[in-house]
């Protein structure tokens, strides 16, 4: 993996890692991870807390050196070319990276200078960011006074002022309402349509559906990598959905019942993963009735990404417990 910038029009991966590993003393935070991300791809990075997602992103963005393995981002080697990587990518975290005591225009000007945007291009880029954020007439407003959804779009626009080929988004929509999240993802789609590679970590399953491919991490290891549709299709155990008058207590009642692999709340209803369909249709209602829990009719359902996520993590040893 040589350290050379991505060639326009080439088919080289935008991100490529091989056996990427990061240790902190005896603790292995990222364990021999290998994957590649295509140009213009929206690549989702999922995993429970402590899975190694943020540590991986820090290595890819030049903020943390790997302990071993190899990697390349936008054509640059993550071991040797960290300065070039930082100038060639956009980065946005859930903290938005904006200065609340600066105006909208001042924030845009700061990031334009930080990313080395030529002075003759700054007015055009400023106008583009303001349009992206829906802030065309709010340039003199303090950023700290903006609603969260506007801050989020402004931060995204600031992260792509220099038109980077690769954009890293680390849980960028945490705490944002569903409508603002949807608007944010419309902007991500527009960026991908013009060739920007978007590498995004998220814990919202509905957001994961928007990604072209998903990588699932657990305990520092990559445990699944495919399209959302293929991951759902790969789920093997039957799943039933039913409504109860006390879903938390129903989860407790079904814990450890023979033939029940997992029972979990899914919205207001219950999802029950079982070993055998026919056996479950008799066992589950009987267990709930014995516990004094009223339940509606059981319906077998297609697995959601959340179901797949839970099953894969469980099969890989479960999430790390703090």
Q: CB-hemisphere CA count at 13 Å for 162?
A: 22
Q: Is residue 313 part of a domain?
A: no
Give this prediction's pTM: 0.86
pLDDT of residue 5: 59
Q: Is residue 90 part of a domain?
A: yes
Same domain, 34 and 174: yes
Q: What is the arrangement of strands in the sheet containing 221-226, beginning at the earlier edge strand?
A: 89-93, 166-170, 197-201, 42-46, 213-218, 221-226
Provide the sign of the torsion angle of the four alpha carbons 75, 186, 225, 29, taken in this order. Answer: positive
Same domain, 193 and 292: no
**Pairing state of beta strands 269-274 and 239-242?**
antiparallel
Question: Residue 107 sits in a domain of what CATH number?
Answer: 3.40.50.300
Same domain, 283 and 258: yes
Provide the sign of the torsion angle of the four alpha carbons 2, 8, 10, 16, taken in this order. Answer: positive
Same domain, 213 and 275: no
Question: What is the mean pLDDT of each successive set of 10 residues along the chain, which is 322 residues long?
Answer: 52 94 96 97 92 94 96 96 94 80 96 92 94 92 91 92 94 80 90 95 87 95 96 91 95 95 90 94 95 95 88 81 59
Of 179, 195, 228, which residue sits at a domain end? 228
Same domain, 114 and 253: no
Q: Is residue 321 part of a domain?
A: no
Q: Is residue 171 part of a domain?
A: yes
pLDDT of residue 310: 85
pLDDT of residue 128: 93
Of 162, 193, 228, which residue sits at a domain end? 228
pLDDT of residue 299: 94
The number of helices, as runs of H, and strands, as runs of E, in the chain is 11, 14
Same domain, 162 and 276: no
Question: Residue 284 sits in a domain of what CATH number?
Answer: 3.30.70.100
Give how many domains the chain has, as a whole number. Answer: 2
Same domain, 252 and 122: no
Q: Is residue 3 part of a domain?
A: no
Domain with 247, as residue range(s), is: 236-302
Q: Is residue 133 part of a domain?
A: yes
Please name which of 272, 214, 229 lies closest in space to residue 42, comparing C-alpha atoms.
Answer: 214
pLDDT of residue 76: 96
Of 187, 211, 228, which residue sits at a domain end? 228
Same domain, 282 and 176: no
Please name which of 150, 58, 97, 148 lies closest in space to residue 139, comparing C-alpha atoms.
Answer: 150
Same domain, 54 and 128: yes
Same domain, 140 and 248: no
Q: Is residue 312 part of a domain?
A: no
N residues, the chain = 322
pLDDT of residue 199: 97
Provide the sign of the torsion angle of the four alpha carbons 230, 204, 30, 188, taken in this order. Answer: positive
Same domain, 244 and 170: no
Q: Is residue 207 part of a domain?
A: yes
Same domain, 125 and 257: no
């Amino acid at each position: 993996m040589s350290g050379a910038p991505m060639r326009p029009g080439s088919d080289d991966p935008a991100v490529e890692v091989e056996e990427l590993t990061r240790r902190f003393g005896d603790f292995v935070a990222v364990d021999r991870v290998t994957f590649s991300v295509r140009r213009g791809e929206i690549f989702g990075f999922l995993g429970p807390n402590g899975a190694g997602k943020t540590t991986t992103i820090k290595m890819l963005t030049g903020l943390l050196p790997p302990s071993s393995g190899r990697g390349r981002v936008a054509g640059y080697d993550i071991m040797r070319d960290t300065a070039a990587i930082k100038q060639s990518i956009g980065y946005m975290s859930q903290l938005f990276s904006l200065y609340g005591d600066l105006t909208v225009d001042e924030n845009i000007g700061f990031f334009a200078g930080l990313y080395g945007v030529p002075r003759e291009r700054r007015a055009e880029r400023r106008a583009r960011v303001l349009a992206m954020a829906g802030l065309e007439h709010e340039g003199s407003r303090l950023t700290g006074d903006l609603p969260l959804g506007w801050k989020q779009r402004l931060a995204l626009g600031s992260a792509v002022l220099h038109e980077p080929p690769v954009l890293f988004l680390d849980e960028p929509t945490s705490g944002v309402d569903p409508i603002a999240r949807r608007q944010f993802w419309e902007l991500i789609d527009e960026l991908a349509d013009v060739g920007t590679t978007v590498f995004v970590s998220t814990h919202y399953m509905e957001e994961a559906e928007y990604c072209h491919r998903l990588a699932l991490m657990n305990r520092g290891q990559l445990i699944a990598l495919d399209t959302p549709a293929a991951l759902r299709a790969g789920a093997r155990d039957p799943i039933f959905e039913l409504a109860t008058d006390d879903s938390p207590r129903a989860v407790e009642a079904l814990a450890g019942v023979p033939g029940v692999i997992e029972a979990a709340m899914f919205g207001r209803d219950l999802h029950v993963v079982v070993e055998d369909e026919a056996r479950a249709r008799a066992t589950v209602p009987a267990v709930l009735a014995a516990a004094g829990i009223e339940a509606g009719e059981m319906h077998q359902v297609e697995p959601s990404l959340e179901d797949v996520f839970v099953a894969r993590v469980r099969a890989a040893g479960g999430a790390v417990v703090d």
